[in-house]
Amino acid sequence: MATFRKTATGWRAEVCRNRVRRSKSFATKRAAQDWAAQQVYEIDNRKELSARVLLREVFERYAREVSPTKRGHRWEVVRLEKLGRDALASLRIGDVGPTDLGAWRDRRLAEVSPASVIREMKLLSAVFETARGEWQMVEANPVRDVRKPKGPPARSRLPLAADFERLALSAGDDLSHATARAYHAFLFGCESAMRAGEICGLTWDRIDIDQRLAVLPMTKNGHPRDVPLSSEAVRLLQQLPHSNPVFGLTTAQLDVLWRKLRTRAAVEDLHFHDSRAEALTRWSRRVDVMTLARISGHRDLNMLLNTYYRETAADIAKRMDQS
């Protein structure tokens, strides 16, 4: 219902309907009544009206209100801006169906990898879920009815003994040089299962040598993590020249140095992130899967086992006869 109050400068309209409250002041009572009638109509028909909003506007609202609450929100906003330039975004959100999304998917597959399309579909689904639940703009999430592209096969590459030899020779052992520290960071990753960003952000006040522990106050998944350090990981840290952060490298520097080092060493298809898989594969021979997840920070055991644990069946067969 709507109520109207005379004020010193005019009239104030107040609308309370279906637990929605709105108010505004006007110079005349007629203007206040017209505004109140419009508000009542919008409240009663908000789902129908919301469904007329362009998908582009929904992307903009999501980028403005939801994305800033996430880690890595900058890249999410970039993806939303890209989505906003596609023909799909010029449709009204209430008109978007699985057929439209399927056509968008096929267009994107002609431009980027299936893995990129899968990531974008997850973001689209998150937008529609928010629009469906919190914003009550649509009745259902149409992304759920769209087939996702088949993802790439799980990566199986681990560093070989020859890779370590070539990289060590190419990097040199003078840790005052950034290239040598980049390789040292890779070795540390093979012992600690820490990500490149975590290694580059590591500072001495977060390391307890006596307890062999590195404390990560914030990680990729938004949770802190305590990383147990092997004696070899501690030895690698103690070899470094004093610097804070410990390795004296930014993630951007490490990425460039690693690529140059790998090329110079003639090592093919070895990513820095493979050091994390190497560490977890090593640890899997000594600890149970729950402890392994505690070390890595994984909350999804399927992700841990399918993506990072890369021991082959032949390796497991050899261990079966060991005492």
In whole angstroms, give the CA distance from residue 91 to residue 100. 9
Cβ–Cβ under 8 Å, residues 154 and 117: no
In whole angstroms, give the CA distance from residue 239 to residue 246. 11
Catalytic residue among 105, 195, 276, 310: 195
Report CA torsion sign: 96, 98, 104, 107: negative
Catalytic residue among 62, 262, 308, 310: 308
Cβ–Cβ under 8 Å, residues 228 and 295: yes
Catalytic residue among 220, 223, 259, 260: 220
In whole angstroms, give the CA distance from residue 202 to residue 188. 12
CA triple 224-302-158, angle to 5 deg: 85
Asked if 184 is an active-site residue, the reply is: no
Asked if 183 is an active-site residue, the reply is: no
117, burial (CB in 10 Å: exposed 0-12, middle 13-18, buried 19+): buried
Catalytic residue among 105, 166, 298, 310: 298
Question: Residue 256 contacts by C-beta under 8 Å, 6 or more apart in sequence?
Answer: none
Question: Residue 315 contacts by C-beta under 8 Å, 6 or more apart in sequence?
Answer: none
Asked if 220 is an active-site residue, the reply is: yes
Q: What is the DSSP string of 220-256?
A: TTS--EEEE--HHHHHHHHHSPS-SSTT---HHHHHH
CB-facing half-sphere around the CA of 83: CA atoms within 13 A: 29
Question: Residue 193 contacts by C-beta under 8 Å, 6 or more apart in sequence?
Answer: 227, 276, 279, 280, 283, 295, 296, 308
Asked if 308 is an active-site residue, the reply is: yes
Largest distance between two CA atoms of the chain = 92
Residues designated as active site: 195, 220, 298, 308
